């Protein structure tokens, strides 16, 4: 890449959940880099650990039942996992902001938009109430909320889904973070709104010169929005590449399967990633070797012995496969 030092670097991240049935490794040794100002897509089937990975970055994995069991998260040279909780609070919302999938429930129903925005602003910046309100108004205007002067004193239930998500975006931008983590920010919205909100996110990301991790199901969104993509399967990274390389020349059989199934499904909107035949292994009984083996057309005996390591490809990406597509 053109940027030598990553803004965010995950190394061998492991997140475990204690469930009734036993301990589940939702994230199993994930490593990835996010460089300043780039937008990185995190793609993969439902349940592969995208949200948990995203939450770990802010140390928001619900605990119990979950916990970060290993690895490191470095942000701008600092080890986030070594920070005390108070230090972490200062990072949340100021250096790294996160927006969530469900605009319906992500905002507090009993406080006005202005109160919630102002709260975040005043938490991280020394501003008076009046100044915070002015800043909130400017932000609402900026994220494209009509009549911000009226909306600011309304409650979340008085806003549409798209407007609520815009409020979330305004909140995320309010302290000028250097990294925005967006967990499927448009999945819950209708198609038109989806496109508008996504456009807004793209514009503001460039304007604020933030890096972004965009978690998504939608490969179309990846192609339109992101410079690089990381493909996850079953709690692990199976492929990482620039978007251009990923779409023109996917290496991992799973990625190939995902891309192959796009054209015939493209007309109907994708709520989920396209379906690849076969089932994801039970997280409580993971196979010894490659986790994709049961669904993989290129599987060999070797694949079932030891998990394939993530290795560099000729075109500068990474792939975890013994028999990658050339």
Partner 1 sequence: MDILQYALRRLLAGLPLLLGVTLFSFTLMVYFGPDKTFELLGKNPTAQEIAEVRHQLGYDRPFVLRYGEYLRELATVDFGNSDSTGERVSSLLARTIPVSLALELPGFVLGNLLGIALALLAAYHRGRWPDKLIMGLSVIGMSISFLVVIFVFQIWFCTSHGLDLFPVRGWGTASLADYLRHVTVPTLAMVFVALGYNTRFYRAVIVEEMGRDHVRTARAFGAAPARLFWRDILKNCAIPVITRIVFTIPAIVIGGALLLETSFGIPGVGKAAYEAIISGDQPVLKAVVGLTTALFVIALLVADILYRAVDPRVSLE
Ligand X SMILES: Nc1ncnc2c1ncn2[C@@H]1O[C@H](COP(=O)(O)OP(=O)(O)OP(=O)(O)O)[C@@H](O)[C@H]1O
Picked from Mg ion, ligand X, partner 1, none, the partner binding residue 91 (CB below 5 to 8 A depending on kind) is partner 1
**322 touching ligand SF4, by CB under 6 A:** yes
Secondary structure string (H, E, C) spanning 127-189: CCHHHHHHHHHHHHHHCCCCCHHHHCCCCHHHCCHHHHHHHHHHHHHCCCCCEEEEECCCCCC
Chain position whose Cβ is nearest to Mg ion: 51
Q: How far is CA 287 from CA 29, 50, 252, 255, 321, in A?
A: 16, 21, 18, 20, 15
Helices 129-142 and 113-124 cross at an angle (nearest 10°) of 110
Picked from partner 1, ligand X, Mg ion, none, the partner binding residue 48 (CB below 5 to 8 A depending on kind) is ligand X
Nearer to ligand SF4, 201 or 303 (CB): 303
Picked from ligand X, Mg ion, partner 1, none, the partner binding residue 118 (CB below 5 to 8 A depending on kind) is none
- The answer to whether residues 16 and 66 touch, using CB atoms and an 8 Å cutoff, is yes
Picked from Mg ion, ligand SF4, ligand X, none, the partner binding residue 47 (CB below 5 to 8 A depending on kind) is ligand X
Per-residue x/- track, 185-204, ligand SF4 (CB under 6 A): --------------------
Picked from partner 1, Mg ion, ligand SF4, none, the partner binding residue 51 (CB below 5 to 8 A depending on kind) is Mg ion
Q: Which of 124, 129, 127, 214 is nearest to 171 (CA)?
A: 124
CB 104 to partner 1: min, Å: 8
- The answer to whether residues 124 and 135 touch, using CB atoms and an 8 Å cutoff, is no
Return the residue of 293, 313, 317, 318 that touches ligand SF4, per CB under 6 A.
293
Which residues of the chain form contacts with ligand SF4 (CB under 6 A)? 253, 290, 292-293, 296, 298-299, 303, 308, 321-323
């Amino acid at each position: 890449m053109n940027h030598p030092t990553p803004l965010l670097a995950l190394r061998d991240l492991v997140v475990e959940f204690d469930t009734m049935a036993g301990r589940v490794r939702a994230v199993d040794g994930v490593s990835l880099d996010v460089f300043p100002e780039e937008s990185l897509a995190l793609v993969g089937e439902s349940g592969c650990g995208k949200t948990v990975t995203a939450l770990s970055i802010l140390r928001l994995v619900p605990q119990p039942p979950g916990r970060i069991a290993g690895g490191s998260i470095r942000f701008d040279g600092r080890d986030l996992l070594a920070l005390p909780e108070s230090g972490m609070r200062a990072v949340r919302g100021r250096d790294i902001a996160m927006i969530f999938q469900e605009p319906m429930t992500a905002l507090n129903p009993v406080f006005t938009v202005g109160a919630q925005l102002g709260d975040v602003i005043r938490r991280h910046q020394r501003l008076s109430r009046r100044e915070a309100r002015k800043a909130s108004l400017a932000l609402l205007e900026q994220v494209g909320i009509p009549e911000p002067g009226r909306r600011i004193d309304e409650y979340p239930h008085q806003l549409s889904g798209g407007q609520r998500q815009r409020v979330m975006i305004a909140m995320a931008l309010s302290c000028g973070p250097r990294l925005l983590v967006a967990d499927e920010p448009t999945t819950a919205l209708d198609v038109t709104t989806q496109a508008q909100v996504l456009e807004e996110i793209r514009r503001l990301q460039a304007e604020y010169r933030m890096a972004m991790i965009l978690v998504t199901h939608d490969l179309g969104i990846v192609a339109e929005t992101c410079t690089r993509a990381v493909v996850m399967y079953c709690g692990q990274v199976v492929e990482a590449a620039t978007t251009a390389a990923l779409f023109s020349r996917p290496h991992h059989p799973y990625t190939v399967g995902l891309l192959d199934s796009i054209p015939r499904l493209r007309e109907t909107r994708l709520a989920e990633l396209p379906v690849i035949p076969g089932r994801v292994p039970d997280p409580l009984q993971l196979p010894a070797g490659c986790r994709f083996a049961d669904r993989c057309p290129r599987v060999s005996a070797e694949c079932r012995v030891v998990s394939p390591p993530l290795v560099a490809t000729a075109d500068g990406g990474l792939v975890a496969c013994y028999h990658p597509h050339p």
